[in-house]
């Protein structure tokens, strides 16, 4: 019995101390951002590996998600004779929810895991300690550019996901199932608001970008420096990111769209 409480206490303290370390880590990384502006080359390298290399998986997923929503939506809406609102359904669900959330989940799998493995391996091979020996701050030099790149890349990827998704929905809805082209766009434009729908979606994806990149970088930095430790940290990145994204999405949705 005593053992049980001991374990519970240990687990609680461990998770608090991890949260504390993660917060200090974040503050330290943020303090490196101003210096980063003097060396944009570091940022461009990271934008390439985090953003440009994720481009293909995001756009292809967006295309298929848009096509599937359009297909399913058409069959339900045609029961009510409301096929013309298909455009609203596809665009609203993509811009508000699926764009930011799916992008963040894919980003965690594609770029987040790579960041954790890279940082973890740097730690395991003592490259980070080597930098400290040379009086280079590894958090400012290695972590900060990756963090900023994640925050910039996520909203861009989410916007692209939504755009391609709408085009995919248009392809299936208009070209394949025969919804009227004009009604598809016109209903969409009359029902979706720029600030309420599109900007809120972009804000969501910026929040997800901060969170996912933070989790990925911290798990890598905090890893046990063995090959097993790195593999576990990579798994934790993907699992924790997915939980955090979905939980945060619920909170953000109730805050943004709760009153209408």
8 A C-beta contact, residue 139 and residue 217: no
56 lies in the binding site for other proteins (CB under 8 A)? no
CA angle 74, 170, 61 (to 5 degrees): 95
* The only residue of 24, 48, 64, 243 in contact with other proteins, by rule CB under 8 A: 48
Binding piece for other proteins, criterion CB under 8 A, among 30-38, 134-142, 159-167, 171-179: 159-167
- Contact with other proteins (CB under 8 A): which of 86, 106, 119, 166? 166
Question: What is the Cα–Cα distance from 172 to 188, expressed in whole angstroms?
Answer: 16
Q: Give, as ranges, the residues between 167 and 186 that touch other proteins (CB under 8 A).
A: 185
Contact pick of 7, 15, 23, 45 for other proteins (by CB under 8 A): 45
For residue 95, give both structure tokens: 């811009």
Which string of DSSP letters, residue by residue, matches 25-64?
HHHHHHHTHHHHTT-HHHHHHHHHHHTGGGHHHHHHHHHH
b vs e for 101-121, b when ≥16 Cβ sit within 10 Å of the residue's Cβ? bbbbbbbbbbbbbbbbbbbbe
- Of 42, 65, 89, 95, the residue at the interface with other proteins (CB under 8 A) is 95
Cβ closest to other proteins, residue 29 vs residue 149: 149
Q: Which residues contact other proteins by CB under 8 A?
A: 41, 44-45, 47-48, 51-52, 55, 91, 95, 152-153, 155-157, 159-160, 162-163, 166, 185, 188-190, 192-194, 197-198, 202
């Amino acid at each position: 019995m005593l053992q049980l409480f001991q374990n519970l206490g240990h687990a609680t303290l461990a998770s608090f101390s991890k949260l504390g370390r993660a917060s200090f880590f974040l503050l330290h990384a943020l303090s490196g951002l101003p210096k980063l502006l003097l060396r944009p080359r570091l940022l461009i390298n990271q934008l390439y590996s985090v953003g440009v290399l994720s481009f293909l998986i995001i756009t292809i997923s967006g295309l298929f998600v848009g096509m599937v929503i359009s297909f399913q939506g058409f069959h339900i809406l045609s029961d009510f004779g409301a096929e013309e609102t298909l455009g609203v359904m596809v665009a609203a669900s993509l811009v508000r929810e699926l764009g930011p959330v799916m992008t963040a989940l894919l980003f965690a799998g594609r770029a987040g895991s790579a960041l954790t493995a890279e940082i973890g391996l740097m730690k395991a091979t003592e490259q980070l300690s080597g930098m400290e020996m040379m009086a280079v701050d590894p958090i400012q030099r290695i972590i900060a550019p990756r963090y900023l790149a994640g925050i910039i890349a996520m909203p861009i990827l989410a916007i692209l996901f939504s755009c391609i998704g709408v085009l995919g929905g248009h392809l299936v809805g208009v070209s394949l199932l025969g919804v009227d082209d004009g009604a598809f766009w016109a209903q969409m434009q009359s029902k979706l608001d720029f600030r309420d729908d599109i900007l809120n979606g972009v804000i969501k994806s910026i929040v997800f970008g901060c969170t996912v990149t933070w989790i990925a970088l911290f798990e890598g930095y905090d890893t046990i420096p063995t090959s097993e430790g790195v593999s576990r940290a990579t798994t934790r990145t993907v699992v924790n990111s997915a939980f955090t994204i979905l939980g945060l999405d619920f909170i953000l949705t109730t805050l943004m769209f709760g009153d209408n």
